[in-house]
């Protein structure tokens, strides 16, 4: 599902950003091999990408890599020219505006505290959060879509689903970023990724760009020792999530990126931002869960473990959910 929705979603997201006036730039991506041993992994990734319908993938030798990115040290690379960057916040706001224009109500910070099916109708209890709601309310619908991100397992549990039995319990993995000193702005023009670990849990620390031209390293893969949401599955929701970046992680970022950025110095890195991923496993690859419930759960569509490439996949996921909802309604 990740491959399918990512390929379709990239095309749809590019079209959406153009129509909605959201910043987007097709900068391209290099996955670089820094040793001869890693070249075989690039060839495997190339074959996999082609099989999944990724457009215009090319294997590059060291000279071709140098032509594209003279500041990168690599023996080979896999080049994806269609990969892009966007204003993620702007895209989220544009999605919200489109939903509101279609009659939806967006309640930022609201909390779902109850979810039950009675007489073929789902009742959803909503409590005030920090989004301006003054009192709670209950809404009834024949179809409910659980796309609650970091809390998707909690919402599914509220509906009576055995999330642990299904393997849907989420682990919140921190992804930290460090920003490079502004004097390096413009030095790298593409996204640059290392060859990813074989376990498929992460893509490795990579060089990314923003639309303003800043260079950043990240995200890394940090699993918290304790679940910051607190409590057991289904016990309630907590917003006490820590998004601070530990400056002590600078050394690991520096050593990881120095393998292909030989000019990098540890002092070039400063803490930037952190995000949280809803991982279904901390050790192995797990695909997206997109499931329409049957029987007693009919009318509920669950999206669980929507980590990377969730943002790219979002428009394609929306079309799939729309198809499932149409079958219910």
User: What residue segments make up the domains of the chain, in order of their start?
Assistant: 89-168+286-328
Is the domain spanning 89-168+286-328 CATH 3.50.50.60? The answer is: yes
For the chain, the straight-line distance linking the first and the last C-alpha, in angstroms and rounded, comes to 24
Q: What is the pLDDT of residue 139?
A: 93
Give, for 313, the enclosing helix (H) or strand (E): helix 310-328
pLDDT of residue 227: 60
Give me the numbers of helices (H) and strands (E) for the chain, helices first please: 8, 16
- Write out the H or E segment, with its range, that includes residue 158: helix 152-158
Q: Count of alpha carbons within 13 Å of 128, Cβ hemisphere only? A: 6
Report the pLDDT value the prediction gives residue 132, as an integer from 0 to 100.
Answer: 61
Pairing state between β 191-194 and 29-33: parallel
Q: Which helix (H) or strand (E) holds 14?
A: helix 2-20
Other beta carbons within 10 angstroms of residue 101's beta carbon come to: 8
pLDDT average per 10 residues of sequence, the chain (329 residues): 97 98 98 96 96 95 98 97 97 97 90 94 88 78 97 96 94 92 96 83 82 94 63 38 89 94 96 93 91 97 97 98 96
- Reported residue count of the chain is 329
**Pairing mode, if any, of strands 289-292 and 137-141?**
unpaired
Euclidean distance between CA atoms 320 and 314, whole angstroms:
10
Predicted confidence at residue 324, as pLDDT, reads 98
Could you tell me if 131 and 110 are in contact, meaning their C-beta atoms sit under 8 angstroms apart?
Answer: yes
C-alpha closest to that of 273 among 307, 240, 243, 309 = 243
CA distance 283 to 221: 11
Residue 138: predicted pLDDT: 93
């Amino acid at each position: 599902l990740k491959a399918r929705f990512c390929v379709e979603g990239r095309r749809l997201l590019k079209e959406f950003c153009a129509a909605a006036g959201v910043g987007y730039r097709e900068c391209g991506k290099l996955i670089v091999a820094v040793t001869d041993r890693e070249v075989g992994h690039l060839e495997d990734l190339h074959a996999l990408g082609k099989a999944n319908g990724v457009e215009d993938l090319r294997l590059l030798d060291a000279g071709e890599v140098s032509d594209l990115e003279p500041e990168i040290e690599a023996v080979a690379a896999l080049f994806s020219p269609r990969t892009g960057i966007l204003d993620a916040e702007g895209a989220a706001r544009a999605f919200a505006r489109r939903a509101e224009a279609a009659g939806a109500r967006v309640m930022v910070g609201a909390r779902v505290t109850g979810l039950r099916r009675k007489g073929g109708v789902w009742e959803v209890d909503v409590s005030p959060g920090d989004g301006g709601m003054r009192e709670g309310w209950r809404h009834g619908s024949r179809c409910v879509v659980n796309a609650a991100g970091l809390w998707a397992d909690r919402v599914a549990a509220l509906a009576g689903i055995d999330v642990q039995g299904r393997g849907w319990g989420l682990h919140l993995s921190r992804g930290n970023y460090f920003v490079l000193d502004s004097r390096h702005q413009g030095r790298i023009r593409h996204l640059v990724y290392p060859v990813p670990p074989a376990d498929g849990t992460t893509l490795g620390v990579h060089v990314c760009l923003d639309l303003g031209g800043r260079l950043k390293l990240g995200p890394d893969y940090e699993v918290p020792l304790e679940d910051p949401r607190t409590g057991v599955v289904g016990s309630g929701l907590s917003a006490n999530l820590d998004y601070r970046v530990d400056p002590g992680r600078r050394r690991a970022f520096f050593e990881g990126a120095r393998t292909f950025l030989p000019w990098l110095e540890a002092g070039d890195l400063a803490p930037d931002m952190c995000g949280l991923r809803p991982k279904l496993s901390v050790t192995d690859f797990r695909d997206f869960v997109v499931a329409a419930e049957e029987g007693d759960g009919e009318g509920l569509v669950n999206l669980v473990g929507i980590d990377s490439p969730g943002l790219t996949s979002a428009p394609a996921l929306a079309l799939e959910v729309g198809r499932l909802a149409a079958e219910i309604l």
